Chains A and B, each alone.
Chain A
């Protein structure tokens, strides 16, 4: 049975990718999934060799045939998204692919076209197979693409008989976060002792609670503000979330990133040994019966 863990944070830049990459280099038999699809960075550390690329189709987009259009304007009036202008052209950024215009058009002038919204890659890395993606600029369907990456990761786990899927999640609380955590066994929330980090930890822990997923917490950059670190510890205690790692504010993640390595490959110091110890703990939760 494959176990899945997603690393999220609410706030961006707290260290999700640093930690999920390090976990990937420590795990024995693992599939890696980069689900931060609209700002994917994990490939910079993983250096994946792409084995297969699949087109990803998001929501469809309306297209009006000018030869059949009688300019009656019914489509413009029926579109709830303001995607059809008075000149009866489709604004592809606003179109949400609902197909109402196609349905109401009395002249059959509108067709819903498939729209390629990105690519899904399956790759091999020095730590094991990896699923990742590239979302087209400004595309709507990032949640759907996250699900496609997770499907690809599940297939890889079956094909290569891997016990663990480590998912690097996106920031925020909306559709792509929800798609990254639904159905996983465990979530690790990486936070930092700043007012933003704490506020976003609170919101994202409400999200995992809403979807009833067990969550652990890592406090990164802890010594930037010891008082806030203690507040986070209190908060986690009251929410019954275990804090499995407290990491210092230091240059290690940046230095490792500059040479394309995970922190545990790069150096043996307080930061990397903290990450190692955290992975030992996380595994106990992940594989608990």
Chain B
């Protein structure tokens, strides 16, 4: 079973929920798909080991064979090859690795190299959590290939909790693809509601069952509650706007380890989530 933790707005508490839920459940796989800013391990402090490099194919142009015809630059949809008077020039960060330039080159002057854009790491903590994280290297633009490789590295068995990046763009889609349920985290403010509505559009369009957690409950007003009620969206949990939780967070301490009564609440919420997942055909 795969449960994603997502939100439109950043900083609403995705990592907090993912980590504290993982610590409440027993044997789980926690998958940090926020590869631009992977933060789960700041709260778990596992000795991560490298599992795999993320390698993207990138063209190599043989200057002896190249006739400067420019067909590769013309074909490339990503402007990763520009034709200068001195010949074609490559911008590897823009390359999506589609292989089109190799196909169109009439001189067979283009071959392929691998370029490392990120890394997949894993570790085990608290005897119950297998932590997986992807990390996009600094200066690299494309998060989605790292996320896809991270997700494909993990076995099918057991409970998987996926910590998604913020937003509604392609890295979010890559993180949410094929999950059984999505928990959307928000805060009770105008920004929180605005971005929750966008996130709801995403999960509805993808056909994923979902519910909402209101974090920092009490900090703003009741507009998120009113919206969820009107839209018939289950509110799974309300985490209060308490200074103690914020201070523990600032120190990198998952709050369920200090406020242990919350473990039971997370377990109960997990039960509610499981009961909301429609049974698939064949199960």
A residues contacting B by CB (< 8 A) are 10-14, 17, 37-39, 41, 44, 59-60, 78, 80-81, 93, 96-100, 103-104, 135, 137-140, 142-143, 170-178, 192-197, 199-200, 203, 206-207, 210-211, 224-225, 228, 249, 251, 254, 257-258, 260
Q: Which residues of B contact A37 (CB under 8 A)?
A: 169
User: Are B168 and A135 neighbours in the complex by a CB distance under 8 Å?
Assistant: yes
Check if B227 is an interface residue, CB within 8 A of chain A. Answer: no
Q: For residues 57 through 115 of chain B, which have their beta carbon under 8 Å from a beta carbon of chain A?
A: 57, 75, 77-78, 96-100, 103-104
The interface-forming segment of B153-161, B170-178, B229-237 is B170-178
Chain B CB count within 10 A is highest, among A97, A174, A257, A260, for A174
User: Are B247 and A225 neighbours in the complex by a CB distance under 8 Å?
Assistant: yes
Determine the distance from Cα of A211 to Cα of B202 in the docked complex, in whole angstroms: 32
Given contacts A100-B98, A100-B103, 17 further A-B contacts (CB under 8 A): A11-B11, A11-B39, A12-B12, A39-B195, A44-B191, A59-B77, A80-B57, A80-B98, A98-B98, A171-B166, A171-B167, A172-B166, A174-B141, A193-B250, A195-B249, A210-B138, A254-B219
User: Are B140 and A174 neighbours in the complex by a CB distance under 8 Å?
Assistant: yes
Determine the distance from Cα of A170 to Cα of B166 in the docked complex, in whole angstroms: 10
Q: Could you tell me the distance in whole angstroms from the C-beta of A17 to the nearest C-beta in chain B?
A: 7
Q: Could you tell me the distance in whole angstroms from the C-beta of A279 to the nearest C-beta in chain B?
A: 21
Check if B269 is an interface residue, CB within 8 A of chain A. Answer: no
User: Are B99 and A80 neighbours in the complex by a CB distance under 8 Å?
Assistant: yes
A40 and chain B: residue at smallest CB distance: B194
Check if B36 is an interface residue, CB within 8 A of chain A. Answer: yes
Determine the distance from Cα of A98 to Cα of B81 in the docked complex, in whole angstroms: 13
Identify the 4 closest CB pairs spanning chains A and B, nearest first.
A12-B10, A13-B11, A98-B98, A195-B252
Which among A81, A93, A254 is the interface contact of B220 at CB below 8 angstroms? A254
* Contacts A/B (CB < 8 Å), 19 sampled: A11-B10, A11-B39, A13-B9, A39-B168, A60-B77, A78-B99, A81-B96, A93-B170, A93-B173, A138-B206, A171-B167, A172-B166, A174-B36, A174-B142, A192-B250, A194-B250, A203-B36, A206-B138, A249-B246
Determine the distance from Cα of A98 to Cα of B94 in the docked complex, in whole angstroms: 12
Q: Which residues of B contact A137 (CB under 8 A)?
A: 168, 198, 201-202, 205
User: Are A99 and B168 neighbours in the complex by a CB distance under 8 Å?
Assistant: no
User: Are B99 and A100 neighbours in the complex by a CB distance under 8 Å?
Assistant: yes
User: Are B37 and A172 neighbours in the complex by a CB distance under 8 Å?
Assistant: yes
Determine the distance from Cα of A200 to Cα of B252 in the docked complex, in whole angstroms: 13
B176 and chain A: residue at smallest CB distance: A138
B: interface residue count bin? 35 or more
Chain B CB count within 10 A is highest, among A39, A211, A257, A260, for A39
Q: Which residues of B contact A142 (CB under 8 A)?
A: 167, 169-170
User: Are B170 and A139 neighbours in the complex by a CB distance under 8 Å?
Assistant: yes
Check if B189 is an interface residue, CB within 8 A of chain A. Answer: yes
Which among B42, B143, B168 is the interface contact of A196 at CB below 8 angstroms? B42
Q: Could you tell me the distance in whole angstroms from the C-beta of A167 to the nearest C-beta in chain B?
A: 16
Check if B30 is an interface residue, CB within 8 A of chain A. Answer: no
User: Are A175 and B141 neighbours in the complex by a CB distance under 8 Å?
Assistant: yes
Q: Which residues of B contact A174 (CB under 8 A)?
A: 36, 136, 140-143, 171
Q: Which residues of A contact B8 (CB under 8 A)?
A: 38-39
Q: Which residues of A contact B77 (CB under 8 A)?
A: 59-60, 97-99
B206 and chain A: residue at smallest CB distance: A138
Q: Which residues of A contact B103 (CB under 8 A)?
A: 78, 100, 103-104
Determine the distance from Cα of A258 to Cα of B189 in the docked complex, in whole angstroms: 7
A208 and chain B: residue at smallest CB distance: B138
User: Are A143 and B141 neighbours in the complex by a CB distance under 8 Å?
Assistant: yes
Check if B127 is an interface residue, CB within 8 A of chain A. Answer: no
Check if B165 is an interface residue, CB within 8 A of chain A. Answer: yes
Chain A CB count within 10 A is highest, among B139, B140, B170, for B170
Determine the distance from Cα of A99 to Cα of B76 in the docked complex, in whole angstroms: 9
Q: Which residues of A contact B189 (CB under 8 A)?
A: 254, 257-258
| Contact A39/B250 with A13-B10, A174-B141, A260-B190 known, Cβ cut-off 8 Å | no
User: Are B98 and A41 neighbours in the complex by a CB distance under 8 Å?
Assistant: no
Q: Which residues of A contact B75 (CB under 8 A)?
A: 99, 103
User: Are B198 and A39 neighbours in the complex by a CB distance under 8 Å?
Assistant: yes
| Contact A138/B100 with A207-B138, A260-B190 known, Cβ cut-off 8 Å | no
Determine the distance from Cα of A170 to Cα of B172 in the docked complex, in whole angstroms: 14
B98 and chain A: residue at smallest CB distance: A98
Q: Which residues of A contact B96 (CB under 8 A)?
A: 81, 96, 98
Q: Mark B184-225, 1 if CB is under 8 A from A, else 0.
A: 000001110011001001100110000000000001110000
